[in-house]
Chains A and B, each alone.
Chain A
Amino acid sequence: MTTALREDAGAALEALGTMWRIRLFEEAVEDLYGRGMMHGTMHLSIGEEAIPTGTCLNLVEGDQITSTHRGHGHCIARGADLGRMMAELLAKDNGYCRGRGGSMHIADVATGNLGANGIVAGGVPIAAGAGLTNQLTGNGKVAVCFHGDGAVGEGAWHEALTLASMWDLPVVFVCENNQYGMSMSAKSAFKVDLSAKAAGYGIPGETVDGNDVVAVAEATARAIDRARAGEGPSFIEAVTYRWRGHSKSDKNRYRTKEEIAEWKGRDPIAAFAHRLLESGLVDQAQLDAAQSAARDAIRESVVFGTKGEDPDPAALLDAVYAPSRVDATDTRLQEASR
């Protein structure tokens, strides 16, 4: 995979399409929210699309990911169905979580997406636990843990890296350093490059340009191969920038318009498209087709989502507990066995 994005037009266009689907999905979500058609809150990853895209194209069936509150990109890059995602954000019963989870809890367990997470660093030990399953069962799978720079300040992050390192678990920690943990700048918070912290756990650490999908794909491919070979976890810091605010409440008081504008000039999608054209791997018509296919897919997802049924309040208690054979109070099973 390491050279595919440079040499294989199909792979390159697929990656570009994934980045477009993420971008356009989030723009559609923002639009729906602005028009009052979506409730709650959301965390957009516009500007950060290269990281999930570059990482997930190295994964095979059965590999797991854990995601974050800013997780639409991870979900899409791991191959989630856009319609069921949009339905979930629209709080519909045919959404991934039957309208129980919303944006911060989308999961697609069948494809190894163990879920977004509303708690910063909540998914980090969970990914390590998936890695432990992989090691104990010898299934050859790798768990990728997406997390932000803010997670590095959490105890959960430290504990998970400590244990993953001690046990040489097949886990790759991909830190999307978008430079702000809500308003706290990573530069103020951490006196070293985040990748330097990996040395403290005795695992490889590398900083890459998170807006360069090829650099991300190549770095994560090395780390994933290493994990799959049983050589243990790695940490990758992918430096990027979130164009939008932390969530809808953000007034951007902690950063300047100039800074935001500068990073918009480093658009990962435009940069990759430009690179593909320059190299002659693809032509403009192919680029346009990739974008337009993504736009169609997002339109369809909005149609699918808005057509969904609202969940039935009578079924609210359905999935608090899974049905149990050993729980005498599980009336569903008692009824079923009658």
Chain B
Amino acid sequence: MSTREMTYSEAIREAMAQAMTADERVFLMGEDVGLYGGAFGVENDLIDRFGAERVRDTTISELGIVGMGVGAAITGMRPIVEIQFSDFTAQAMDQIANQAAKLHFMVGGQATVPLVIRAPGGSGTGAAAQHSQSLEAWFTCIPGLKVVMPSNATDAAELLLAALEDPNPVIVLEHKLLYKQTFEVPETFAVGRLGVGRIEREGSDLTIVATGVEVQRALEAAEQLAADGISAEVIDPRTLKPLDLPLIVSSVVKTGRALLVQESVRFGGFMGEISASIVESEAFGHLQAPVRRLCGLDVPIPYNPDLEKAAVPQVGDIVREATALVREW
């Protein structure tokens, strides 16, 4: 299969353009997505290509625009709502948690809410505590919502296309550090599948499950671990809800060790769910070491660049934890 190179932002833009071209019900609304081209440049020239009707600049009204997305979705449209920073979902939480997620159930299945919310999260940009969080655990505990966390350009595009095909509300948590990174991508983007994780690298000594930007850190760590004689398998769940648990469990059955890496805080975090699911599964009898989590510290993301790095797992932290898990057990 021939490939090409593209940034994560360009891939998202292409997927949105592809969806808007294929389906006139698809439109985008959000703060500064039109004339400005998106706070991170994701939209760029979309407004020129699709017009201000379908690439809609909104007022700074997160609750309002998510709510309008709900209203448009239940009346037949396929809205994409961009929340400029995922931190601002706090402003929109009623419409996400109480309306979008629950509506289908509350009305006994009469209505569907095919709403896609795109929201970038993550630290590493010096944006400090209110613009850097990883909030996936807020969303994974809401029945009715699906949660996607793409770690590369192809997934960002193809899982967005899947989200747009899905009749349920889907929140896609993009990562700000990835926007400008270049990835190898296929010539054309296909519609992805939700609930399918991927083994990013095969290994035999331990399983590293990582999400978001931690996936590439885990891969880099795996490279270093290999040089030290440790064979790490790296898994990216890609969608947190629904979760491809069988993929994780079968990997842990094989390796006997699990290191779970996320940028988000440890306490109440999503990796706690994966940990519990592993020990509840048939992998329990195969464990040669306790399941270990490596997560962000329980602290707001700080401004100072060294402090910011210290707050979330870096490559060296993963190497250290993985080595300990393999060598000490």
Residues of chain A whose beta carbon lies under 8 Å from any beta carbon of chain B: 64, 66, 95-101, 105, 107-110, 114-115, 117-119, 122, 124-134, 136-137, 143, 155-156, 158-160, 162-163, 166-167, 318-330
Contacts and interface: CB of A to CB of B under 8 A. Distances in A.
Contacts of A66: 71
B98 A118 contact: yes
B103 interface: yes
A322 B115 CA distance: 12
A328 B196 contact: yes
B238 to A, nearest CB: 11
11 contacts: A109-B74, A117-B99, A122-B95, A124-B67, A125-B95, A129-B69, A129-B73, A129-B79, A326-B162, A326-B192, A329-B244
B168 interface: yes
A85 B53 CA distance: 38
B75 A97 contact: no
B71 A132 contact: yes
B194 A326 contact: yes
B107 A109 contact: yes
Q: Give me the 10 closest cross-chain CB pairs, A-B, nearest first.
A: A129-B71, A125-B67, A159-B64, A129-B68, A98-B108, A97-B108, A329-B195, A159-B61, A319-B109, A126-B71
Interface centre among B65, B108, B192, B244, by most chain A C-beta atoms within 10 angstroms, is B108
Contacts, number: 182
A321 B194 contact: no
Interface of B: 27, 53, 56, 58-59, 61, 63-77, 79, 94-95, 98-99, 103-112, 143-144, 146, 162, 165-168, 191-196, 242-244
Contact of A95 (B27, B108, B165): B108
A132 B68 contact: yes
B167 to A, nearest CB: 4
Contact of A126 (B99, B108, B192): B99
B292 to A, nearest CB: 26
A64 B168 contact: no
A327 B107 contact: no
Contacts of B166: 324, 326-327
Contacts of A327: 146, 166, 193-195, 242
A118 B194 CA distance: 30
Given A96-B108, A155-B63, A162-B59, A322 B167 contact: yes
Given A107-B111, A109-B111, A131 B71 contact: yes
Given A95-B108, A97-B108, A109-B110, A325 B165 contact: yes
Most buried by A among B67, B95, B99: B67
Given A128-B67, A136-B27, A322 B106 contact: no
A88 B55 CA distance: 40
B67 A126 contact: yes
Contacts of A110: 110
Contacts of B162: 326
Contacts of A163: 58-59, 61, 64-65, 68
Given A126-B71, A160-B68, A97 B94 contact: no
Contact of A130 (B75, B167, B195, B244): B75
A114 B105 contact: no
A129 B70 contact: yes
Given A105-B106, A163-B58, A321 B67 contact: no
B194 to A, nearest CB: 4
A115 B64 CA distance: 18
A140 B122 CA distance: 43
Contact of A326 (B94, B111, B165): B165
Contact of B70 (A97, A108, A125, A328): A125
A320 B71 CA distance: 18
A241 to B, nearest CB: 28
B62 to A, nearest CB: 8
A320 B74 CA distance: 15
Contact of B107 (A115, A156, A166): A115
Contacts of A156: 63-64, 67, 94-95
A207 B49 CA distance: 44
Pick the most buried of B110, B193, B195: most chain A CB atoms within 10 A of its CB: B110
Contacts of B79: 129
A114 B99 contact: no
A249 to B, nearest CB: 21
Contacts of A159: 59, 61, 63-65, 67
Contacts of B193: 326-328
